[in-house]
Amino acid sequence: MTSVRDATSVDPGHAAASDTNGTVSGVTRTGPRPERVPVRPRELTGTDIVTIIGCFASALSLSWLVFTVLTGGIGWLGFGLATFVVFLVLVFVVTAETMGVTAATDRVATAVVVSAAVLLLVPLVWLVGYVIVKGLPGLTAHFFFEDQRGVTPILPSTAGGGSHAIVGTLQQVGLALVWALPLGVLAAVFLNESRSRWRRPVRIFVDAMSGLPSVIAGLFIFAVLILPYAKQIKVFSYNGFMASLALAMMMLPTITRTVEVVLRLVPDGLREASLAMGSSRARTVWSVVLPTARTGITTAVVLGVARAVGETAPLLFTAFGADLMNSNPFNGPQESLPLFVYRNIRKPDPSAISRGFTGALVLMMLVIGLFALARYIGRDRSGRKNKRRRKELLPTLGDQPSIGSEHS
Amino acid sequence: MIDITQAEPVVHADAGGKPPIELIGGPPIGAATIEARDACAWFGDRLVLEDVNLVMPAGHVTALIGPSGCGKSTFIRMLNRMHELVPSAALSGEVLLDGADIYERGMRAQDVRMRVGMVFQKPNPFPAMSIRDNVLAGLKLARIKCKDKDGLVEQSLVRASLWREVRDRLDSPGGALSGGQQQRLCIARSLAVHPNVLLMDEPCSALDPTSTGRVEETIAELRGQVTVVIVTHNMQQAHRVSDACAFFLAAENEPGRVVEQGPTQKLFSAPDDPRTLAYVEGRFG
């Protein structure tokens, strides 16, 4: 068993609680220490784990006996449910026998919650795993450097690559960001900093827009710009620029709402402080509110990009898709990763389908990378830095430390 | 109108040994007298402050005392046109800054606020800026130019008695300071634009006694250079820092009024009104 000194370093609360001799923990003693066992009442012991495994095995066997051997069977779903219910009953009965009804109820509730969490993870892991298994064989370095030039249906899935799709995605999403970010930030500033009575209708529109089916965004650009003007104006035809406009429509509500939320988090005291020094409202927003919300706005950008990067429908009638590299987003049809997936998976030959899954894998990695980036940027860097500084300051100043801790 | 102070304050023209750093486009140099005439304030239809007549002479420290909800903060916010930022707020009467009504048509709220600075109850340094940028924030925000920015940073921090504590880390974030230091940083930030009047709305209520002491020292050093108007719930503080006092009181469901005003010594030792005596002796409020 762990000695008292170890227990204290691990969990001082328990060491103090288990100190039954009436001495205050932390007092140095010279005599021999009595053996004390720190107890963590909620921790699973080896016996508990064996019990749970035993219960599960019994439940499985019982279900198998009843539903497979004795009766005609009830299908895998019914079998699983029956096993789970029997398992819960067994856990309850066995735990109640040894530890009482309260502990048994606790165990059963824990079992239910943990099972629900595992159940929730199953589709996610399945989906990601499926795409990885299907897409990984086609993923070679070529994929990032070659397009589909000279690729015929009889070639294997590793032939050619998706560089044209990656370039297209980056250009279209980048351009969409250029349109959507200023508009989104302006709309958020309007919603949060102005006193206009149009805020409510605008907010409702933004909410409605976030529910806009993405195919409509593409259709809108197609019907309003491409269809009437394609013959007269060259830039209004199938190209990456049109796609970026459609994607910007998808990004705009995400960016607006996210930025609005982070602007709302900026304390009013800062606005007042700025105004009290003779600043105009516009200047206050530009020099105080937006810089304070900087990390939040960066997060909004990444979320907006992640929202748009996987969209296929808005690109169908705008970027149109192409098999060859087209690095000019303003002229000619352009491929993008979602379109690459969509177009390849519909082809009849297995190598193209496999190529489509490779595209899906790359797209997924891109989105996961973007979310990781968002978390990285959005983490509270200033707070951590301040904490460190606080520790350095405290001994010398003896003053109450800063940020948030002194108020409220 | 009676001048509520008899004693002339000692005016330090060159406080800290140096003349103020020159600003281009800033407020005029020196302290200014600020005076309220028949000032009333409403929130929505509710009258919260009625007929305040008060002169806060140039270079003096005037303390506004009284229980919560009697309109002190509302009154102080009327003095630099922050009151009107509350959506339902309304007001009447005049506020004269060196004789000119700040609520006159054609008077820009921004210019008024540049001349009448404010320190808030809760320290609010700009978290995205360094200590140095915090002090200089007023220049950027009010579009004032200054050739000697380093000098201005030092002078402002010296006047707020914060210089010695932060001179080695002017580039670290303002939010990393302790509460008391943050409040003095906010004072330095207000002082950097050379306001004629400095309003302080319970500047020490979020601070511990040591920090409060430092802020009070700062106020004492500002006497003569800037007109200081301070709202405080702390009787001892009002007694210590102010030249003159005004006692605000609001009866139940009635607007706040100034019950008594006069030199601090008189108000604390021999007030005319029994309610003032009761309040300064701590018998209510």
Kindly report, residue by residue over B202-220, the tens digit of the pLDDT. Answer: 999 888 888 899 889 989 9
Confidence bin at B13 (pLDDT 50/70/90):
very low
On whether residue A1 sits in a domain, the answer given is no
| Shortest alpha-carbon distance between residue B3 and chain A (Å) | 27
Residues A107 and A217 in one domain: no
Residues A128 and A230 in one domain: no
pTM above 0.80, yes or no: no
Tell which of A283, A399, A405 to mutate to test the B interface (max B CBs under 10 Å).
A399
Residues A129 and A263 in one domain: no
Cβ B178–A294 below 8 Å, yes or no? no
Residues of B in contact with A382 (CB under 8 A): 127, 173, 175
Q: Which of A118, A135, A152 is the last residue of a domain?
A: A135
Integer Cα distance of A148 and B171 in angstroms: 53
- B181 class by beta-carbon count within 10 Å (0-12 exposed, 13-18 middle, 19+ buried): buried
pLDDT tens readout for residues A307-338:
899 899 999 989 988 889 999 999 999 999 99
On whether residue A16 sits in a domain, the answer given is no
* Contact call for residues A98 and A91 (beta carbons, < 8 A): no
Q: Which residue range is the domain that position A105 belongs to? A: 46-135
Cβ B176–A277 below 8 Å, yes or no? no
DSSP states of B128-196 = TSBHHHHHHHHHHHHT-B-S-HHHHHHHHHHHTT-HHHHTT-TTSBGGGS-HHHHHHHHHHHHHHT--S
Residues A240 and A127 in one domain: no
Residues A101 and A169 in one domain: no
Q: Which of A120, A135, A150 is the last residue of a domain?
A: A135
- A132 class by beta-carbon count within 10 Å (0-12 exposed, 13-18 middle, 19+ buried): middle
Please tell me which of the candidates B115, B118, B178 has its beta carbon nearest to residue A402: B178
On whether residue A257 sits in a domain, the answer given is yes
On whether residue A406 sits in a domain, the answer given is no
Distances (CA, A) of A289 to A282, A376, B136, B144: 10, 22, 16, 20
Distances (CA, A) of B141 to A212, A265, A350, B243, B269: 40, 21, 64, 32, 44
Residues A379 and A261 in one domain: yes
Cβ B137–A288 below 8 Å, yes or no? yes
Residues A50 and A97 in one domain: yes
On whether residue A253 sits in a domain, the answer given is yes
Residues A229 and A272 in one domain: yes
Residues A223 and A347 in one domain: yes
Query: How many Cβ atoms from other residues are within 10 Å of residue B36's Cβ?
Result: 22
On whether residue A393 sits in a domain, the answer given is no
Size of interface A-B (CB pairs under 8 A): 118
pLDDT tens readout for residues B20-68:
788 888 888 889 999 999 999 999 999 999 999 999 999 999 999 998 8
Q: Is B158 on the interface with A (CB under 8 A)?
A: no
How many CA atoms lie less than 13 Å away from A207 in the CB half-sphere? 7
Residue A386's pLDDT is 47
* Coil/strand/helix, residue A377: helix
pLDDT tens readout for residues B64-77:
999 888 889 999 99
Q: Is B118 on the interface with A (CB under 8 A)?
A: yes
Residues A119 and A232 in one domain: no
- CA gyration radius for chain B? 18
**How many independent structural domains does chain A possess?**
2
Cβ A291–B126 below 8 Å, yes or no? yes
Cβ A399–B180 below 8 Å, yes or no? yes
CA–chain centroid gap for B139, Å, is 19
Residues A191 and A66 in one domain: no
Task: Evaluate if residue B106 carries a pLDDT over 90.
Answer: no
Tell which phi-psi region holds residue A75, choosing left (phi > 0), alpha (psi between -120 and 50) or beta: left
Give the CATH number for residue A375.
1.10.3720.10
Residue A391's pLDDT is 44
Please tell me which of the candidates A278, A291, A401 has its beta carbon nearest to residue B110: A278
Cβ A386–B176 below 8 Å, yes or no? yes
Residue A399's pLDDT is 38
On whether residue A357 sits in a domain, the answer given is yes
Residues A88 and A178 in one domain: no
Please tell me which of the candidates A195, A277, A389 has its beta carbon nearest to residue B113: A277
Q: Which of A135, A151, A185 is the last residue of a domain?
A: A135
Residue A381's pLDDT is 55
Q: For every one of its 408 residues, what pLDDT tens digit does chain A have, with 9 covering 90 and above? A: 444 444 444 444 444 444 444 444 455 556 677 788 877 777 777 888 898 899 999 999 998 888 888 877 778 888 888 899 999 999 999 988 888 888 889 889 999 999 999 999 999 999 999 999 999 988 888 889 988 888 888 888 888 888 999 999 999 999 999 999 999 999 999 999 988 899 999 999 999 999 999 999 999 999 999 999 988 888 898 999 999 999 999 999 999 999 999 999 999 999 999 999 989 999 999 999 999 998 889 889 988 998 899 899 999 989 988 889 999 999 999 999 999 999 999 999 888 999 999 999 999 999 888 888 877 877 755 544 444 444 444 433 333 333 333 333
Residues of A in contact with B120 (CB under 8 A): 269, 272-273, 276
Residues of A in contact with B87 (CB under 8 A): 195
Tell which of A277, A281, A288, A385 to mutate to test the B interface (max B CBs under 10 Å).
A277
Which residue type does A350 have?
P
On whether residue A244 sits in a domain, the answer given is yes
Domains detected in chain B: 57-71+116-280 (3.40.50.300)
Residue A58's pLDDT is 93
| Shortest alpha-carbon distance between residue B150 and chain A (Å) | 19
Residues of A in contact with B138 (CB under 8 A): 277-278
Compute the Cα dihedral for B42, B48, B53, B55 and give only its sign: negative
Residues of B in contact with A275 (CB under 8 A): 82, 85, 113
Residue A314's pLDDT is 92
Q: Which residue of B has its CA nearest to A390?
A: B176
